[in-house]
């Protein structure tokens, strides 16, 4: 079982031209219980308790430029923080990771040209200090059409669940590094119609992914020493009326293990989603989604694979007030049981209920 909450506070102050300050805090906790069996009075527990704290404080300053009426410079600075904690009964290990990340970002708009740059310094109490950055730019070809590009480097240490999960964890995981970029085209074809097309390329070192070992029959997290991933994504959205809108997303991905020449495990080549949203009455809305993912390989040697899987989801929202929403969500309503991890069945149709509140 699990629990999650998020709190957010926002204020606006008049400094220079504008100063927007945002504070966000989130918390989630999950408990998993089970046992591999008993020998005498000894129970081989698979219990795992994990929790995650997230915090983000961001300050944005907008400064008008003299070069044009709409030209502006936006400076953003702040800090991200997170703490991961896990207690594994099977391995008898308790781990806590804390990461504090000061960041600074600059965004500018001059005429039809857009540019941005961001740098972040990650201080992790177990994996040390790392600096990552990204650069981006764009050009408005015309009022309704924009070309954009971005690129940079990334660094991700393994999460505590990836290390300590009783079934899938691997305490010997190495941190993941990547470098790459994207280029895209955005077209606002009409007031209620939008198209997006993008392509991307990433080069990973020690890519973290779940891997099935056909010799032992065990699936656990592991590193792919060197991987190159490229692909493309298409998104479209259209509002048929004030009460009905539809959208389609399709993604192609080629994830290649450059050491073996094979495909990276659990990376489907084709994925997509078709959705419709309806406003039934003023406070009630309905969203229906049909998702699809292609088959993929479970193992590094590309000898064991699963089947494609379409799934149907739906959600009904009831807007009590501008800051409070109740919802009921049905997932996998067609009860598609194709496994996502080798040897572990996928749950059938499920229904959830909850609420979302903004403070």
Tokens of residue 327, six digits: 């919802």
What's the CA gap between 328 and 24, in Å, rounded? 25
User: Does residue 46 lie in a domain region?
Assistant: yes
Domain count for the chain: 2
The answer to whether residues 60 and 28 belong to one domain is yes
The answer to whether residues 288 and 352 belong to one domain is yes
What's the CA gap between 47 and 33, in Å, rounded? 4
Residue 114 binned pLDDT confidence (cut-offs 50, 70, 90): very high
User: Does residue 147 lie in a domain region?
Assistant: no
User: Does residue 324 lie in a domain region?
Assistant: yes
Tokens of residue 227, six digits: 């991987």
pLDDT at 32: 75
The answer to whether residues 246 and 333 belong to one domain is yes
168-215, pLDDT tens digit by residue? 889 899 999 999 999 999 999 988 999 999 999 999 999 999 999 988
pLDDT at 43: 54
User: Does residue 149 lie in a domain region?
Assistant: no
Share of residues in the chain with pLDDT > 70 (%): 90
pLDDT at 128: 92
pLDDT at 3 over 50: no
The answer to whether residues 53 and 27 belong to one domain is yes
SS3 347: coil
User: Does residue 321 lie in a domain region?
Assistant: yes
Question: What average pLDDT does this structure show over 250-255?
Answer: 98
CA angle 26, 28, 31 (to 5 degrees): 170
Sign for the CA dihedral angle at 336, 339, 343, 349 comes to: negative
The CA-to-CA distance between both ends of the chain, in Å, stands at 25
The answer to whether residues 58 and 79 belong to one domain is yes
* Average pLDDT of the chain, as a whole number: 89
pLDDT at 9: 45
User: Does residue 253 lie in a domain region?
Assistant: yes
The answer to whether residues 126 and 189 belong to one domain is no
pLDDT at 15 over 60: no
- State which residues form the domain around 304: 174-206+213-359
Comparing 5-19, 61-75, 119-133, 254-268, the range with the smallest average pLDDT is 5-19
The answer to whether residues 161 and 55 belong to one domain is yes
pLDDT at 71: 84
The answer to whether residues 129 and 180 belong to one domain is no
Is-contact 59 77, C-beta < 8 A?
Answer: yes
The answer to whether residues 13 and 162 belong to one domain is yes
pLDDT at 68 over 70: yes
In 3D space, the residue among 177, 171, 147 whose CA is nearest the CA of residue 159 turns out to be 171
pLDDT at 1: 46
Which has more pLDDT, 183 or 86?
183
273-332, pLDDT tens digit by residue? 999 999 999 899 999 999 999 999 999 999 999 999 999 999 999 999 988 999 999 999
For residue 237, give the H/E element and its range: strand 218-241
The answer to whether residues 232 and 324 belong to one domain is yes
User: Does residue 272 lie in a domain region?
Assistant: yes
User: Does residue 102 lie in a domain region?
Assistant: yes
The answer to whether residues 162 and 199 belong to one domain is no
Give the CATH number, domain containing residue 359.
2.40.170.20
pLDDT at 5 over 90: no
115-166, pLDDT tens digit by residue? 999 999 999 988 999 999 999 999 999 989 999 999 999 999 998 888 888 7
What's the CA gap between 103 and 220, in Å, rounded? 33
Comparing 1-15, 68-82, 155-169, 254-268, the range with the smallest average pLDDT is 1-15
pLDDT at 276: 97
* pTM score: 0.83
pLDDT at 45 over 70: no
The answer to whether residues 161 and 185 belong to one domain is no
What's the CA gap between 211 and 152, in Å, rounded? 27
Is-contact 349 331, C-beta < 8 A?
Answer: yes
Residue 12 binned pLDDT confidence (cut-offs 50, 70, 90): very low
């Amino acid at each position: 079982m699990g629990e999650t909450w998020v709190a957010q506070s926002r204020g606006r102050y008049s400094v220079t031209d504008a100063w927007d300050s945002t504070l966000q805090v989130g918390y989630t906790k999950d408990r998993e219980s089970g046992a591999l069996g008993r020998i005498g009075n000894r129970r081989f527990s698979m219990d795992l308790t994990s929790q995650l704290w997230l915090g983000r404080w961001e300050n944005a300053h907008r400064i008008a430029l003299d070069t044009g009426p709409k030209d502006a410079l936006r400076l953003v600075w702040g800090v991200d923080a997170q703490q991961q904690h896990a207690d594994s009964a099977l391995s008898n290990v308790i781990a806590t990771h804390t990461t504090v990340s000061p960041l600074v970002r600059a965004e500018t708009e001059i005429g039809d040209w857009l540019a941005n740059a961001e740098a972040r310094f990650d201080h992790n109490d177990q994996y040390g200090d790392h600096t990552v950055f990204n650069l981006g730019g764009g050009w408005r070809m015309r009022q309704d059409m924009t070309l954009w590009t971005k690129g940079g480097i990334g660094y991700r240490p393994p999460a505590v669940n990836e290390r300590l999960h009783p079934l899938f964890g691997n305490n010997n995981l190495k941190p993941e590094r990547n470098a790459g970029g994207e280029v895209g085209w955005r077209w606002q074809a009409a007031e209620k119609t939008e198209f997006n097309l993008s392509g991307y390329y990433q080069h990973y070192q020690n890519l973290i992914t779940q891997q099935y070992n056909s010799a032992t029959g065990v699936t656990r997290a592991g590193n792919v020493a060197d991987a190159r991933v490229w692909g493309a994504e298409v998104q479209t959205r259209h509002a048929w009326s004030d009460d009905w809108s539809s959208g389609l997303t399709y993604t192609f991905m080629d994830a290649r293990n450059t050491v073996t020449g094979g495909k990276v495990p659990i990376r489907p080549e084709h994925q997509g989603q078709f959705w419709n949203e309806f406003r039934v009455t003023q406070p009630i809305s309905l969203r229906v989604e049909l998702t699809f993912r292609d088959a993929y390989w479970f193992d590094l040697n590309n000898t064991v694979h699963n089947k494609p899987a379409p799934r149907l989801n739906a959600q009904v929202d009831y807007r009590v007030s501008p800051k409070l929403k109740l919802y009921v969500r049905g997932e996998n309503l067609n009860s598609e049981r194709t496994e996502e991890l080798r040897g572990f069945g996928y749950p059938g149709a499920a229904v959830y209920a909850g609420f979302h509140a903004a403070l």
